């Protein structure tokens, strides 16, 4: 029974393979266990713990769910939480060495600081846009020589003016009543120092840009996250006491902070400090006298999420928005099931 419990709740790392990776979260899979799903059991087990939230990065634990749900959150964060991004580039003048198509692609990938929840999706076929669904930026930069530059200087930053085009040169132009709804600091590129192009005297850019609302499933530029990933919580179990020189070697087999050597009555002993920091390298299996001293597992229903926002929305807001998207999908699925059941009932009459 103990071995069966291990299989139910743990993924095991052995020397040459990873076992028990298949999903078992359904009834009747293990004799003697009632794995039927119920809301009460789910509420008892499920929890979300915020581990760290610093700037654009969030790490949190989601415990008590199946891998399918965890992966649904990841995919929604990547592809279905909307953001604002540059979609249309109207080129009035571009004499730089960057072709119009390449320039438009570079501009589209610039993250825009604007709350997408305040805007609507642009209607198909609408080229102009409205204040409800479009943000307009202008980019007008011309490179000239600096008459004050030292004669013997060869530094482009000294002898040229505006020879580097940055995102700070993008100027928001309010449409309709946008100036009344948003302040200038609300609508801007996330970073001012993203290099767009380099110019030389006589070269210039004169562009009009339209930002619209979209999702990463349509184009990667709309994805709100730089990274969104998860991993299972590692578990390291010592099957015996490891002492002396072996303890030092054991600690070196793991990432810093995972294990430490303590001293009791002049004898060194290894102990597990924080298995969460382990990268599961399985270095331990290269040591014949140590590989049987440790069991390497991962908790099947404990997911460590790492979310890094591009800056349009805070990472904790993105997780909340992803939850709303998932809830909407569940409601739609349930309504379709009800509709199918009603149709079947009518056909049986």
Rounded CA separation 145/167 (Å): 21
- Check the CA dihedral 260-264-268-271 and report its sign: negative
pLDDT at residue number 102: 96
pLDDT digits (tens, 9 = 90+) for 31-85: 777 888 888 888 999 999 999 999 999 999 999 998 999 999 999 999 999 999 9
Q: Are residues 309 and 328 in the same domain?
A: yes
Nearest C-alpha neighbor of 193 from the set 102, 311, 274: 311
- Check the CA dihedral 38-39-41-45 and report its sign: positive
Q: Are residues 89 and 75 in the same domain?
A: no
Token match 């198909």: residue?
Answer: 124
Q: Are residues 176 and 201 in the same domain?
A: yes
Rounded CA separation 64/46 (Å): 4
Rounded CA separation 233/258 (Å): 13
pLDDT digits (tens, 9 = 90+) for 203-218: 999 999 999 999 999 9
What CA–CA distances, in Å, run from 108 to 105, 197, 214, 222, 223? 5, 14, 12, 9, 12
Mean per-residue pLDDT, 93-107: 96
pTM of the model: 0.87
Tokens of 243: 């002492």
pLDDT digits (tens, 9 = 90+) for 80-92: 999 999 999 999 9
Confidence bin at 2 (pLDDT 50/70/90): low
Q: Are residues 203 and 252 in the same domain?
A: no
Q: Say whether pLDDT at 16 is over 60.
A: yes
Based on the structure, what is the number of domains in the chain?
A: 3
Q: Are residues 231 and 325 in the same domain?
A: yes
> Terminus-to-terminus CA distance in the chain, angstroms?
50
Enumerate the H helices of 133-242 as residue ranges.
Answer: 156-159, 178-181
Q: Are residues 173 and 103 in the same domain?
A: yes
Nearest C-alpha neighbor of 176 from the set 208, 211, 135: 135
pLDDT digits (tens, 9 = 90+) for 149-186: 888 888 999 999 999 999 999 999 999 999 898 887 78
What three-state secondary structure class fits 127? Answer: coil
Q: Are residues 313 and 209 in the same domain?
A: no
Q: Are residues 106 and 162 in the same domain?
A: yes
Q: Are residues 103 and 34 in the same domain?
A: no
Domain of residue 318, residue span: 1-81+224-236+299-349
Rounded CA separation 2/333 (Å): 38
Q: Are residues 139 and 211 in the same domain?
A: yes
Q: Are residues 122 and 207 in the same domain?
A: yes
CATH of the domain at 151: 2.170.120.12
Tokens of 232: 């299972």
Q: Are residues 175 and 87 in the same domain?
A: yes
pLDDT at residue number 224: 95
Percent of the chain with pLDDT over 90: 73
């Amino acid at each position: 029974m103990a071995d069966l419990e291990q299989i139910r709740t743990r993924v095991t790392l052995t020397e040459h393979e990873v076992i028990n990776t298949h999903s078992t979260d359904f009834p009747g899979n293990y004799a003697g266990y009632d794995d039927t799903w119920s809301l009460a059991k789910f509420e008892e087990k499920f929890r979300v713990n915020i581990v760290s939230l610093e700037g654009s990065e969030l790490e949190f634990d989601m415990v008590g769910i199946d891998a399918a749900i965890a992966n649904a959150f990841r995919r929604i964060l990547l592809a279905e939480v909307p953001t604002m991004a540059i979609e249309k580039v109207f080129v009035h003048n571009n004499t730089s060495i960057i072709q119009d198509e390449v320039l438009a692609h570079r501009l589209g990938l610039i993250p825009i600081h604007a709350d997408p929840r305040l805007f609507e999706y642009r209607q198909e076929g609408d080229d102009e846009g409205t204040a409800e669904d479009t943000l307009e930026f202008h980019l007008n930069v011309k490179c000239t020589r600096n008459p004050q530059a030292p004669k013997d200087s060869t530094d482009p930053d000294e002898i040229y003016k505006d020879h580097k085009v940055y995102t700070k040169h993008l100027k928001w132009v309010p449409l309709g009543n946008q100036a009344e709804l948003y302040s200038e600091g609300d609508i801007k590129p996330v970073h001012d120092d993203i290099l767009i192009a380099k110019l030389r005297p006589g070269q210039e850019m004169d562009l009009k840009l339209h930002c619209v609302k979209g999702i990463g499933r349509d184009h990667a530029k709309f994805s709100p996250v730089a990274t969104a990933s998860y991993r299972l919580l590692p578990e390291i179990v010592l099957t015996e006491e490891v002492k002396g020189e072996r303890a030092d070697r054991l600690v070196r087999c793991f990432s810093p902070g995972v294990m430490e050597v303590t001293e009791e009555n002049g004898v060194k002993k290894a102990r597990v400090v924080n298995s969460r920091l382990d990268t599961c390298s399985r270095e331990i299996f290269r040591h014949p006298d140590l590989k049987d001293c440790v069991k390497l597992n991962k908790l099947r229903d404990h997911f460590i999420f790492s979310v890094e926002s591009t800056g349009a929305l805070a990472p904790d807001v993105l997780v909340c928005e992803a939850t709303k998207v998932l809830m909407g999908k569940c409601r739609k699925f349930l309504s379709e099931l009800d509709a199918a059941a009603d149709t079947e009932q009518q056909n049986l009459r």
